[in-house]
Structure 1
């Protein structure tokens, strides 16, 4: 959120997002600045130390050189301090945001009561979330993504916390640049596609599916996820943003939609939070749901080009272990072209889509080279 004023429209975001009082805002900004310090000042220092260790003595564990590097780094106190600060700043983030959201629970629940909704939300009281979702609180968010306490507060925590976590780099308090970028891939790579029915898999609180309504206002748009609380919030959030979206509680591995139901199926940063087996199932399901000629777009973190670089691999290991991202390494090393082919897609594309900072008016660029973190996103796509 660097360089943005909390009172500006971009920062306020939308009526559903929890608004902190003075002391809560100060605490959230402190956490933001601490996270910037941990990643922007402390991490480069640790990278330099690791590179010196590599230069002094080659990594000898040929089966896992990154583990060799980790063993060496664990003997350095500043490295362990960096890990501790990285984890605790994340825990502090959710604590600070959670207390603020809890204070506003009555007003948020009142705002969620939409008299004449344009979209809908369908929950399944018998739904059982996959073990890879419930096995750990992803990103250390207490309760995780599948929590259902009968309220929408988990969604409210995810919304405010996610925007602070991303430091404003993913679209301010709307946190929506990934969705705009996924939609930008259609006119970039498939300019003749004019979708009338779109599905987002793993939609969370709707930050990426609402942009689909901006790009394609005539389309019928659906979003699915595993968490009842976040879906309640997603529906209210979309309604306040004027987006008629139909949300339902389903697993992206096996949905209840009929074959060929959609023109476009997409996901945003979902595959790195699933098991490798689940990722293959999700790709196959996205293929099943497409009509002939339909397009699937799966957007992921733009770090695939760093696999094989020792510090980036070690940093990924730390992220997986201390921020509850157990499938991060597998996502970075996966051959998405092969996985898409195995799922039955044609015209498979693998590359980097430049971030759509200007929404539907953004310059369109897709290619083999990443523009850097937050300036482009990894995308694999294909047709049915």
Structure 2
């Protein structure tokens, strides 16, 4: 099959660069998807009920360390230990099945990534050193992690297909762009007539949030930064195939090489829980430094914020950090974003929940204090320069 024919076939799915599984590979991926749904749905529900029973017993005993004591109690149950093993192994199997499929198609994907006259660009550096929290473990258990680079764009291809399977299609289907569309819907909720000239996506990954910003504001100059050279090469080619002229560069969101006051809109999507508590402050300060007067910063996170009043929720966050390699899961989901944004120098700070939007300019344009549920809304903190 010619590269052109292959591109046309892939475009029917969402965009020409995404890895297309064979029949058997698709069956494997769907099995892992269903297994993950079972592990994170009914099986987790059983453990939550068991934790509730154990928690009541600990309350009567007067526990001084609720999370540690609950974990010790839960670890005595075979079902809990089995659930944890399944939680980790199902995630490992996701990347294994996706990785095999991507590796089989590597030559075709590299050929499709050759863009004759790119409108955007990609800039990487061999001397770039990723932050420690990126290097300490493979985030989401993806082999090699976000910063892996072998000179190709295959890590990005694995992240693209794996992300869509991992999100179970609930984050915008195979484009996996619901968060980016929602972030832009929040921008328009705050400022319906906003026309930014320069936009920056911090922690852009393969561009699933960056491209929606370019589509929402087609006259803007759009930039995306991340720590992985491979995923940025893929992001660039992906954006080109989707008709979005984006300039990608390998940088840490904690400190970029852009000039002061050089962007009208700076945003991130689910970045903070993959960093560190110190990095969160640095990233907020950097996003403030980069904003022009009157500019807007928007930082979107998973809508699972809590105040540590529920011991099972707190323990589950600890398990997510450990068993899915989410380095700052607990820190990001218990932070006071209002105080952090104000401390970083933002004005007119708003924190709350933005309903998901499949297309930013179609809304819904409402924002409130209550979550509408996972995948139905996202937590957003935003402020102005």
TM-score range, shorter chain: over 0.9
Number of the residue aligned with 1:369: 370
Aligned equivalents of 1:148, 1:317: Cα separation in 2:
29
Q: For residues 1-384 of structure 1, what are the structure 2 equivalents within 5 Å? A: 12-58=13-59, 60=61, 63-305=64-306, 307-384=308-385
User: How many residues matched?
Assistant: 377
**Which whole-Å CA distance do the structure 1 matches of 2:325 and 2:72 have between them?**
20
The whole-number CA distance in structure 2 between the counterparts of 1:9 and 1:281 is: 40
SS of 1:207's equivalent? coil
Q: Relative to 1, partners in 2 of residues 1:176 and 1:189: Cα closer, same or farther, differing over 3 Å?
A: same
Q: Is the 8 A contact 2:102 2:157 kept in 1?
A: yes
Cα 1:17–1:358 shift into 2, 3 Å: same
Spell out, residue by residue over 1:89-130, the C-alpha distance to the aligned partner (whole angstroms, 9 max, x if none).
Answer: 000000000010000000000000000111110111211111
Rate the CA distance shift 1:357–1:206 in 2: closer, same or farther, 3 A: same
String of CA shifts for 1:61-99, please: whole Å, max 9, x gaps. 655312221111111100110000000000000000001
How far, CA to CA, are the matches of 2:271 and 2:258 in structure 1?
A: 19
Distance in structure 1 (CA, Å) of the matches to 2:364 and 2:127: 45
Name stretches of at least 5 consecutive residues in structure 1 with no aligned partner.
Answer: 1-7
Q: Which runs of no fewer than 5 residues in structure 2 stay unpaired?
A: 1-8
Q: Distance in 1 between matches of 2:61 and 2:212?
A: 48
Q: CA deviation at 1:362?
A: 2.1
Asked whether the equivalents of residues 101 and 156 of structure 1 are also in contact (C-alpha less than 8 Å), the reply is: yes
Cα distance, 1:302–1:49 mapped onto 2, change above 3 Å: same
In the TM superposition, residue 305 of structure 1 has moved relative to its aligned partner by: 3.9
**Aligned counterparts of 1:186 and 1:63: Cα–Cα separation in 2:** 44
Secondary structure class of the residue paired with 2:267: strand
For 2:163 and 2:76, the matched residues in 1 are separated by 33
Hey, what's the Cα distance between the residues in 2 that align with 1:182 and 1:256?
24
CA distance in 1, matches of 2:139, 2:211: 23
- Tell me, in whole angstroms, the C-alpha distance in 2 between the residues paired with 1:45 and 1:336: 32
Contact (CA 8 Å) 2:10, 2:16: kept in 1 or not? no
Q: 1:262 to 1:189 in 2, by over 3 A?
A: same
CA shift at 1:192, angstroms?
4.2
User: Aligned partners of 2:173, 2:11: CA distance in 1, in Å?
Assistant: 6
Which deviates more, 50-59 or 348-357?
Answer: 50-59
Q: Distance in 2 between the 1:59 and 1:302 partners?
A: 32
SS of the equivalent of 1:304 reads coil
Give the superposition deviation at 1:365.
Answer: 1.4
> What TM-score results when the alignment is normalised by the length of structure 1?
0.95
Shift of 1:359: 3.3
Cα 1:46/1:277, change in 2 over 3 Å: same
Partners of 1:119 and 1:245 within 8 A in 2: yes
Aligned-residue CA RMSD (Å):
1.5
**Could you tell me how far apart the structure 2 residues matched to 1:60 and 1:262 are?**
55
**Contact (CA 8 Å) 1:59, 1:65: kept in 2 or not?**
no
Structure 1 partner of 2:4: none
CA 1:298–1:22 in structure 2 vs 1: closer, same or farther (change >3 Å)?
Answer: same
Give the distance between the partners of 1:181 and 1:83, measured in 2 at CA.
Answer: 32
CA positional deviation for 1:57:
4.3
- Secondary structure (helix, strand or coil) at the match of 2:156 reads helix
The one-character-per-residue Cα deviations of 1:13-63 (angstroms, maximum 9, x if unpaired) are 211000000110010001001001101110001111111222344165655
